[in-house]
Amino acid sequence: MDSAEYEAKIASRFEAFDQDGSGSIDREDFSGAAAALLAEFGTAARSDKGQALYSGAEAFWQGMAGIADVDGDQRVSRQEFVTGAVKRLRDSPERFAEIARPFLHAAIAVADEDGGGVTPAAVERALRVLGVDRAAAERVARELDADGDGRIREADILTGFAGYYVTPEP
């Protein structure tokens, strides 16, 4: 990967977190993602699943702020993301899985509509709601169901998610 390609990748990761396009990553991006997922899957915010998703979103934000909000202004700027988050997440991918786990666990519970495990179609819908383009959402959902049984395991989602953000430098 050359450095232009690397920078483009990092920029796209930042934009994925900056859900509302405000130019920084902050608490609203995480709570907004939770709200969008609940709406997509017809789940009430006040339900147990809804509350778990909001708690997970808050924990995810706190974890992100803890590693990247260097100046403590409750926002992760593009600069803080590039210099702080990217490097630390790369050095410690398991740390990323740890801060994302409660949110992903709750999101899976919301997207698992029949209680039999999350399907590739549901993963695709969730990714689309979070702003991933159709082709990429389709490809990721297909790849996550590696054994083709029509259900995706939580461990595979966590690994895939962490892997996406842990980007080798050029």
Residues that bind Ca ion (CB under 5 A): 18, 20, 22, 29, 69, 71, 73, 75
Residue nearest to Ca ion (CB): 22
Q: Which is nearer to Ca ion, 67 or 144 (CB)?
A: 67
Smallest gap from Cβ 47 to Ca ion, in A, equals 26
CA 159 – CA 138 distance, rounded (Å): 17
Q: Tokens 């050095």 map to which residue?
A: 91
The continuous run of DSSP H or E covering 25 comes out as: strand 24-25
Closest approach of Ca ion to the CB of residue 89, in Å: 16
Tokens in use for 77? 């700027």
Q: Please, which residue, 47 or 83, has the CB nearer to Ca ion?
A: 83
Closest distance of CB 132 from Ca ion, Å:
17
Q: Looking at beta carbons only, is 80 or 124 nearer to Ca ion? A: 80
CB of 130 to Ca ion, least distance (A): 13
User: How far is CA 133 from each of CA 12, 38, 121, 145, rounded to the nearest angstrom?
Assistant: 12, 19, 14, 19
Choice between 5 and 73, CB closer to Ca ion: 73
- DSSP letters, 59-103, are HHHHHHHHHH-TT-SS-EEHHHIIIIIHHHHHH-HHHHHHHHHHH
